[in-house]
Amino acid sequence: MFQRPLKTESAKALEAFFPFVKREKGPKTHGTKKGAGTTINRYQKFIGLALLALLAFFTLSACSSSGLNDYPRLTPDSNRAAEAEALLRSDPQGPIPKPQLPQRLLARAVSLARDTALRAQRLEYVVHTSSDQLPDAKTLFEETAELYTLQDKPLYSRMTLNRRLQSSIGTGQDILKSMGYYDGEVKSNVEFGEAEQTVITIEFIPNTQYKIGEIKVLFSGPPDALEDVPVSPPEVSLTPLKIKKGDPALAAPILQAVDLLPDYLATRGYPFAEVTGTRYFLSPADKLLDMEITVYPGDFARMGELVITGDNPVRVEFIQNLVSWKQGDTWNQDAINSFRDSLFQKGLFNSIDVSVGTQVKDNNVRDIILKVERAPPRTVSGSLNFDSDFGPGAELAWEHRNLSGWGDDFKVEIPIWKDLQQLGVQYTRPYFLSKKQTFLASAALLREKTDSYELKSLSLQGGIERQLSRHLAGKLMVSLERGKLNEFFREEQDYNVVGFPLTLDWNWSDSFLDPTEGHRLRILFSPYYGHYYTDFNIIKTRVDGYQYFSLKENKTLILALRLSLGYIAGASTANLPASLRFFSGGGGSIRGFRYQSIGPKNAKGKPAGGNFLNEFSSELRWRFRESMGLVFFIDGGNLYDKVDFSELGKKFLWGGGIGFRYYTSMGPFRLDVATPLNPREGDSKFQIYISLGQSF
C-alpha cells in the first residue's frame, strides 16, 4: 500500500467518471503544499483503468456494428429525415446526443414552422356574382354573404371553403324569397386554379315572382285567451299601408305593414290594438302568397279631457291651444303624436309623455294624461364660427324662454366678423290673438363693410305670422330703417326707409333643413318708401321655387332644383340704398364666385347691385352612410341693372363643385368647394362655403 497526493482538478475529473473514488484529506508531507489531497490505493487504480479500457472497447464496437456512417445527413436532398427522427425518438439517449435548445428559441422555431406551413396551405379565392335581372339582389348578397364578409379572414382547407359557400347559397336563397322569388335558384361553380387562386361563380336564377293573394285580417281576444272575444272593430284593409292584392310579394313592405297595423287601428279608435299572430301560405301553382293576420283590437275609446301633470312652467291655456281634437272624438293617435311634437318643439320641456287614461268614462271616453318636466328657462351661449362670405368670427347669445308664461321667447344675439358686426334683439309671442298667429318683433344695430359699400344702420321690425292652411303660411311686417351708406365713389349719404314686406310660403316638402321630396314656393312682395339722394317709391318682388325628387326608395339619392327671380320696379339702382338692392354671388346664390361679386359695377369697378335677378341651382345629393353624404352641384345666373325679361337666361355665369354633408339631429353640416366654370378676369379659382343645413 502506498499513498500519493493528487491535484484537486484531477481528483474532480476522476470523481466524475468513477463515483467510488473518495476524496480524503491527505497527510502533510515534505515538499508538498498545505491543503486537501486525494489518495488511491494501487488496486483501486488498476480496477479503474481496466474498467475505462473495457468501456472504450464496447463503445467502439457499438459504433462499428450500428454503422455510425449510416445515420442520414439532414440535408435538403436527404430522403431519410423521417427515419432519423424516428431513431432519435426511439432512443433519445442514442449514440448522437440530442441537441438541447433553449425553451424560448424552441417555441419560436415551432411557431415559425407552423405559420410557414399554414401560409403554404392558405386558399385564396375571388367571387363573381351574376344577377343581371336583379341588381339589388347582387348588392345585398355582396353585403351579407359569408363569401364576401369573411373573405379577408384566413382559409386553409377546402372543407371550410365549402361551408362558406353553402352558407352563402342559403343567404342568396333568402334574398330571393324576400323579393318574392320563392322558386328562385342560386347556383354555384368552383374552379381551383393552378396559381392557388380559386374562382367562385354565383348565379341568381329568379324564375317567376310571386304576387300577394288573399289578405285576411282576423280579430281575436288576447294572446292568452282560449276563445275569441266578440268585438266589432271596423273592417281593416292593408291598402292604406300600401299593401294590396296583386302587388309583388316583397318581404320588407309586408312586414312593415304588419308592424304598422296597430298604429293604424290606434288612429281609428283602438289605442290598445296589437298583432297576435301571422300566417303566410304559398300557392306554387298560382304563384301567390296568401296572408292571414290575427289582431287583438282591445277596447274602443274616445278622446276625453287633457290632464296635465308634472312640473309645468306655462299657462294651461298655452298648452290647450295646441290641442286639435274635441272631447268625444274617436281616438286618434296621430292627433296626439302631432300635439306632443308641437309641444316639444317649443323648447320649454325636457321631457313629455302622453298616455291613455285608465279610467273609462261614459261612452268609452278616456282622458289623455300629459306628464311634463320643465327645461331651464335661460341659456347663455357662445361660439366660434366661420361664415362662407365673412370669414371667421364669434357669436354671443342670451335667451329667455317663456318670459311671461305664454311660451314667448326673448333673445339677444351679438355676431361679430371682421367686416360685419351686429347687435340684434328678437321677441316672439305665439298664439297672439289667435291659435294660428305669432307676434314677431326685432331690432338691430348693424355695421357692414363689403367691396362695394360701408353701411351703418338701425332697423326695427314688427308684425304677425299666421298659418293660413296646412301648407300655407303668411307673414306681414312693418319695417323701419335709418342709416348711413358710403359707396366709396361718392360722398357718404344718409337714408330712411319704410316698408311693408309681405311673405307667402307654400311648403309641401317633408323637411325644412333636409328635404328629400316635395316642393316649396316663396313669394316676397314689398312696397318701400324712403329717401336716398332723392325720394323713392318702389315695389320689390322676389319668387323662389324649390323642387325635390327622391331617385331611390330609401331616399339616399336626391335631385334638388332651385329657381329664383327678382325685380325692383319704380327706381334705378343708383337711387336705392344698398340694403334694398339685389346682390348675387356667394354661398346662398351662385357658388364659385365671391360674395356679392356678380352684376353691374360702379364707377370704381366694384359690384353695385342690381334690380333684376335671375338664378338657378341644381344638386345631386347622395347619402352613402347614415351620417355622411356627398353633393354634386351646378349654380348659374346673373344680375342686371334694369328690368328686362328679354335678358332672362342670357350671359349666365356658372359655378360648380362638390360638397360634403355630415348629418346631425339639427340638420346636415355643409362644406362646399366650388369653382367658376366660366370665370371672369380677377375671379378666384375656387371658393369654400361652410354652414348648417342644405344650401336650399
Question: What is the CATH number for 645?
Answer: 2.40.160.50
Are 625 and 594 part of one and the same domain? yes
Are 586 and 634 part of one and the same domain? yes
The cell numbers describing 525, all together, are 312682395
Are 649 and 560 part of one and the same domain? yes
Instruction: Say which DSSP state 240 is in.
Output: G
The pLDDT tens digits of the residues spanning 160-213 come to: 888 989 999 999 999 999 999 999 999 999 888 765 578 889 999 899 999 999
Domain membership of residue 580 (yes or no) is yes
| pTM for this predicted structure | 0.63
Identify which has the larger pLDDT, 300 or 229.
300
For residue 221, name the pLDDT band (cuts at 50, 70, 90): low
The pLDDT tens digits of the residues spanning 537-569 come to: 999 999 999 999 999 888 899 999 999 999 999
Are 280 and 339 part of one and the same domain? no
Question: Would you say residue 53 has pLDDT above 70?
Answer: no
For residue 121, name the pLDDT band (cuts at 50, 70, 90): low
Instruction: Say which DSSP state 28 is in.
Output: P
Domain tally for the chain? Answer: 5
Question: Would you say residue 73 has pLDDT above 70?
Answer: no
Domain membership of residue 396 (yes or no) is no
Domain boundary among 358, 374, 390: 374
3-state secondary structure of 20: coil
Question: Would you say residue 99 has pLDDT above 70?
Answer: no
Are 631 and 522 part of one and the same domain? yes
3-state secondary structure of 509: coil
Are 571 and 536 part of one and the same domain? yes
In degrees rounded to 5, what are phi and psi of residue 54?
A: -60, -40
The cell numbers describing 549, all together, are 325628387
Domain boundary among 23, 43, 62: 62
Domain boundary among 238, 273, 296: 296
In degrees rounded to 5, what are phi and psi of residue 88?
A: -65, -35
Domain membership of residue 615 (yes or no) is yes
Are 135 and 225 part of one and the same domain? no
Identify which has the larger pLDDT, 643 or 298.
298
Are 665 and 620 part of one and the same domain? yes
Strands (E), 315-390: 349-356, 365-374, 378-387
**Residue 519's domain spans which residues?**
496-692
Helix H or strand E encompassing 170: helix 158-178
Residue type at 331 in one-letter notation: W
Are 361 and 257 part of one and the same domain? no
The cell numbers describing 297, all together, are 283590437
For residue 110, name the pLDDT band (cuts at 50, 70, 90): low
* Total residues belonging to the chain: 696
Domain membership of residue 329 (yes or no) is yes
Domain membership of residue 422 (yes or no) is no
Domain membership of residue 98 (yes or no) is no
Question: What is the b/e burial string over 93-112, where b = at least 16 CB atoms within 10 angstroms of the residue's CB?
Answer: eeeeeeeeeeeeeeeeeeee
Are 148 and 26 part of one and the same domain? no
For residue 478, which of 502, 457, 499, 496 has the smallest C-alpha distance?
Answer: 499
Pairing mode, if any, of strands 302-311 and 365-374? parallel
Q: Give the residue-averaged pLDDT of 587-593.
A: 90
Instruction: Say which DSSP state 331 is in.
Output: P
Are 686 and 667 part of one and the same domain? yes
Query: Contact, 169 vs 184, CB < 8 A?
Result: no
Neighbour-count burial of 568, counting CB atoms closer than 10 A to its CB (0-12 exposed, 13-18 middle, 19+ buried):
buried
> CA-CA distance, 132 to 138, in Å (whole number)?
9
For residue 4, name the pLDDT band (cuts at 50, 70, 90): very low
The pLDDT tens digits of the residues spanning 261-286 come to: 898 889 888 899 899 989 999 999 99
Domain membership of residue 482 (yes or no) is no
Domain membership of residue 332 (yes or no) is yes
Are 153 and 264 part of one and the same domain? no
Which pLDDT score, from 0 to 100, does residue 28 have?
40
Which pLDDT score, from 0 to 100, does residue 108 have?
59
> CA-CA distance, 560 to 174, in Å (whole number)?
36
Which pLDDT score, from 0 to 100, does residue 499 have?
96
CATH number of 246's domain: 3.10.20.310
Q: Give the residue-averaged pLDDT of 487-512.
A: 91
Query: Contact, 429 vs 410, CB < 8 A?
Result: no
Which pLDDT score, from 0 to 100, does residue 409 have?
92
Identify which has the larger pLDDT, 107 or 172.
172
Q: Report CA 529 to chain centroid distance, whole Å.
A: 50
